[in-house]
Amino acid sequence: PPMALGYDGLGFMFENLFAALLLFATAFEYWRGRDEAPALTVGITTLYSATAVSFMLCAAVLAWDGKLVLGHAPSNWAEELSLIVVIASMTGIGALSLALNQGRLARHHRRNALTDPLTGLLNRRALFDMHSHLPVGAFTAVVVFDLDNFKAINDEFGHATGDEVLKVFASELAGNLRPTDVAARMGGEEFALVLKRTLPETVEDTAERIRTALATRQIETETGSLRCTVSAGFAFGSKEGLRFDKVLSAADKALYDAKRGGRNRVTGSPFRRAS
């Protein structure tokens, strides 16, 4: 190393360049993740880059002077400027990093509050937050699914197996969604699906596809394999617009009709034609 050989001037140049390289690399990593919080990450990136430039200036001034041996710490205008930039930038980086972490925590807590931890789908609260304040139009449908005889599965195979069945159905549900569709676990073995810009035939086909996929699937669990079925009911909004909870209630009633009709079937509510 230059320092060990007595070339402290050269050593200070390399140290400044190495520090600048590390700072630029750090700035680049923040820049890559700027989509998370653009204003904060751009600010942090700028401060890290400014600090890196100040170290490069220090190296450049030493190189310009051409002294390979100094015998003391560098002292010039670039060093003084770098000191000011470092103090200001590190203070700013600390404040912005704290704000960034607080934002991450807030988003994490909100995501947890709105997500069902078992299935990864939205929960009931999230579904109502998204739709309860908007009228449901004539081309928006709500589908309610309920796993058939789920209590018997829990009683016979245990709750761990029941949880596995819920996750399997959630994956079938998620796998049949369009980008505009929204799926949620309402609680227990009940799920809901909101489909926009759709028609009764499309909704019925979607619900039937999900029902058939589950009915024909062999679910492997620690206690053995089993099959499970699901019933579904759906309802539409109206041209004038209806409250979300009213449409959900109509879909629920259609679901109970499906249960009374023998389970493992999809039933549409007459309510869907009330437009």
User: Is residue 191, in this structure, part of any structural domain at all?
Assistant: yes
Give me the pLDDT at residue 25, please.
97
* 159 and 91 part of one domain: no
The domain of 233 spans: 122-273
User: Is residue 1, in this structure, part of any structural domain at all?
Assistant: no
Residue 68 has pLDDT above 90, yes or no: no
Read off the pLDDT of each residue in 95-112 and give the average, rounded to a whole number: 85
User: Is residue 25, in this structure, part of any structural domain at all?
Assistant: yes
* 33 and 92 part of one domain: yes
Residue 272 has pLDDT above 70, yes or no: no
Read off the pLDDT of each residue in 4-12 and give the average, rounded to a whole number: 84
* 32 and 145 part of one domain: no
* 20 and 147 part of one domain: no
Residue 2 has pLDDT above 80, yes or no: no
Q: Is 36 a catalytic residue?
A: no
Q: What is the 3-state secondary structure (H, E, C) of the chain?
A: CCCCCCCHHHHHHHHHHHHHHHHHHHHHHHHHCCCCCHHHHHHHHHHHHHHHHHHHHHHHHHHHHCCCCCCCCCCCHHHHHHHHHHHHHHHHHHHHHHHHHHHHHHHHHHHHHHECCCCCCEEHHHHHHHHCCCCECCCCEEEEEEECCHHHHHHHHCHHHHHHHHHHHHHHHHHCCCCCCEEEEEECCEEEEEECCCCHHHHHHHHHHHHHHHHCCCEEECCEEECCCEEEEEEECCCCCECHHHHHHHHHHHHHHHHHCCCCCEEECHHHHCC
Read off the pLDDT of each residue in 160-171 and give the average, rounded to a whole number: 94
Read off the pLDDT of each residue in 211-217 and give the average, rounded to a whole number: 94
Residue 108 has pLDDT above 90, yes or no: no
* 129 and 246 part of one domain: yes
Which pLDDT band, with edges at 50, 70 and 90, does 66 fall under?
Answer: confident
* 130 and 103 part of one domain: no
Give me the pLDDT at residue 271, please.
56
Residue 274 has pLDDT above 50, yes or no: no
Q: What is the CATH number of the domain that holds 193?
A: 3.30.70.270
Number of domains in the chain: 2
* 72 and 154 part of one domain: no
Q: Which of 15, 164, 172, 189 is catalytic?
A: 189
Give me the pLDDT at residue 83, please.
95
Domain end marker among 114, 147, 179: 114
Which pLDDT band, with edges at 50, 70 and 90, does 275 fall under?
Answer: very low
